[in-house]
Amino acid sequence: MGEIYVVFSRTHTRIGGMIRFFTRYQFNHVALSADSSLRRLCSFARYRAHSPFRGGFAIEAPCSYCDGCRDTYIRIYRVPDPQGEYCAALERYARECGHYIYNLFSAAFSIFRLRVRIPESSTCLDFAADILRKEGVYSIRALEREIGGTLVYEGSMRDYLTAQGVPIERDERFFEPVPRPTAIAEACVAVMMLIDHAIL
**Per-residue pLDDT at 1:** 63
Look over the chain and give the mean of its residue pLDDT values, rounded to a whole number. 91
What is the percentage of the chain residues whose pLDDT exceeds 70?
99
What is the percentage of the chain residues whose pLDDT exceeds 90?
68
Higher pLDDT, residue 151 or 62:
151
Mean pLDDT of all residues in 109-128: 90
Q: Which domain holds residue 178?
A: 3-199
Distance, first Cα to last Cα, the chain: 40
On the question of pLDDT at 109 being above 90, the answer is: no
- What tens digit of pLDDT does each residue of 17-58 get? 888 998 899 999 999 999 999 999 999 999 998 998 999 999
Q: Do 185 and 192 form a contact (C-beta atoms < 8 A)?
A: no
Give the domain CATH number at 27.
3.90.1720
Higher pLDDT, residue 50 or 76:
76
- What tens digit of pLDDT does each residue of 158-178 get? 999 999 999 888 888 888 999
Looking at beta carbons, which pairs linking 103-110 to residues 24 or more positions away fall under 8 Å?
Answer: 103/44, 103/194, 104/53, 104/190, 104/191, 104/194, 105/194, 110/19, 110/23, 110/138, 110/139
Give residue 12's pLDDT band: very low, low, confident or very high (50, 70, 90). Answer: confident
Domains: count for the chain: 1
